[in-house]
Amino acid sequence: MRTLIDFQSWWPRQPGARQGLLAAGAGLLLLTVISCGTTREAVVLPDVPGAKYIGSAECEQCHDELCKSFKTADHARLIAKGKNGKDYGCESCHGPASLHEDSGGEIKPPYSFTSGRPLPTSLGARLPLASARAIETVCYNCHLDVRGQFNLPNHHPVPEGEITCIQCHPPHSGVAFAGGGTQLMSQNDNCLTCHPTQQGPFVFEHDAVRDGCTSCHSPHGSVNAKMLLERNSNLCLKCHFQQPAPGGSGILIGGIDHTTKLSQGACWSAGCHEAVHGSRVSPTLRY
């Protein structure tokens, strides 16, 4: 048996009630559309006067070994199939390479960090070779969040031109982090290349070192000294649980009363645990 719906029986007779019902229906429809939608972002590559994009396949004609290893790189995912994706890949970092190809390599690509003849200016002068900071300028086009971190008070000296992004992030092969992936100790080795004194070996090693340098340090920049993730003892208390002493008379950390010690400064600056990476003489990480 079919049941016929009498719309007149449930449709509101008052105009105000009808408008409220219509508004509720419109809101429900809008919510449905938003919940089913997908947000995508794209980086628009810059135009260079007199040059055009030719696609990564053309680069492989001369740079075959480099392109072969690039197929394993994280940045290789920028290459899309079809005509619409021709602009991406090698040229997403090096710029449109038509002039570079037409000159047989004599003219450098717009963003080039190797030897070659720079593109002349309108007056015929040659532009100087790109400085170390020019590499970061290209990286910042996509990694805007990292650019913001390098503007924080404490950061690696990348903006000053003392080191470059590619020293830690190889762009042409493998994962875009030296020693990255699942090789945690290799990731630490990358940091220890410049910070050998934190390597040890130590008789009493801080377990946090095994968790990786980035468990305590923000690698690009931080508002805290030494690029720490948290200020003062707050960093240590993320792992070292604190609890009230019996009777509520103090604070215990590791079963030891720290009530007065917490007010003396950070764990490593209050004269208690100065050897934060490891110690050769003390299990409590003292020098």
Last residue of one domain, picked from the residues 210, 229, 248: 229
* Tokens linked to 248: 């509520």
Q: Is residue 124 part of a domain?
A: no
Locate all alpha helices (DSSP H) within 119-274, ordered by sequence: 132-140, 144-150, 184-192, 207-211
Q: Is residue 13 part of a domain?
A: no
Mean pLDDT of 56-83: 80
Mean pLDDT of 115-137: 57
Share above pLDDT 90 across residues of the chain, in percent, rounded to a whole number:
10
| pLDDT value of residue 188 | 78
Mean pLDDT of 46-68: 85
State yes or no: pLDDT of 27 exceeds 60. Answer: yes
Q: What does the alpha-carbon distance between residue 98 and residue 50 come to, in Å, rounded to a whole number?
A: 9
State yes or no: pLDDT of 29 exceeds 70. Answer: no
- Reduced to 3 states (helix: H, G, I; strand: E, B; else coil), residue 245 is coil
| pLDDT value of residue 227 | 94
Q: Is residue 181 part of a domain?
A: yes
Residue for token pair 């002068």: 125
Number of domains in the chain: 3
Last residue of one domain, picked from the residues 184, 205, 229: 229
Per-residue pLDDT tens digits for 219-250:
899 999 999 999 888 888 888 888 888 877 78
Which residue range forms the structural domain that includes residue 73?
A: 56-119
Confidence of residue 39 (pLDDT cuts 50, 70, 90): very low
Question: 209 and 156: one domain?
Answer: yes
State yes or no: pLDDT of 169 exceeds 50. Answer: yes
Q: What does the alpha-carbon distance between residue 201 and residue 205 come to, in Å, rounded to a whole number?
A: 8
Q: Mean pLDDT score of the chain, rounded to an integer?
A: 76
**Tally of CA atoms within 13 A in the half-sphere of 231 that contains its CB:** 3
State yes or no: pLDDT of 130 exceeds 60. Answer: no
| pLDDT value of residue 140 | 85
Confidence of residue 5 (pLDDT cuts 50, 70, 90): very low
Per-residue pLDDT tens digits for 186-204:
667 788 888 888 887 889 9
Q: Is residue 192 part of a domain?
A: yes
Question: 148 and 225: one domain?
Answer: yes
Asked if 62 and 19 count as a contact pair (C-beta separation under 8 A), the reply is no
Question: 208 and 264: one domain?
Answer: no
Question: 211 and 154: one domain?
Answer: yes
Question: 111 and 91: one domain?
Answer: yes
| pLDDT value of residue 114 | 57
Q: Is residue 183 part of a domain?
A: yes
Q: What does the alpha-carbon distance between residue 79 and residue 97 come to, in Å, rounded to a whole number?
A: 15
Q: Is residue 269 part of a domain?
A: yes
Question: 287 and 257: one domain?
Answer: yes
Per-residue pLDDT tens digits for 71-118:
888 888 766 565 655 556 788 888 888 989 998 888 888 877 655 555
Last residue of one domain, picked from the residues 72, 103, 119: 119
Asked if 216 and 228 count as a contact pair (C-beta separation under 8 A), the reply is yes
State yes or no: pLDDT of 28 exceeds 80. Answer: no
Asked if 144 and 172 count as a contact pair (C-beta separation under 8 A), the reply is no
- Reduced to 3 states (helix: H, G, I; strand: E, B; else coil), residue 151 is coil
State yes or no: pLDDT of 184 exceeds 60. Answer: no
Q: What does the alpha-carbon distance between residue 19 and residue 25 come to, in Å, rounded to a whole number?
A: 10
Q: Is residue 208 part of a domain?
A: yes
* Tokens linked to 230: 């948290």
| pLDDT value of residue 156 | 92
Question: 155 and 222: one domain?
Answer: yes
Q: What does the alpha-carbon distance between residue 112 and residue 43 come to, in Å, rounded to a whole number?
A: 20
* Tokens linked to 252: 């215990």
Q: Is residue 14 part of a domain?
A: no
Question: 155 and 215: one domain?
Answer: yes
Mean pLDDT of 150-174: 87
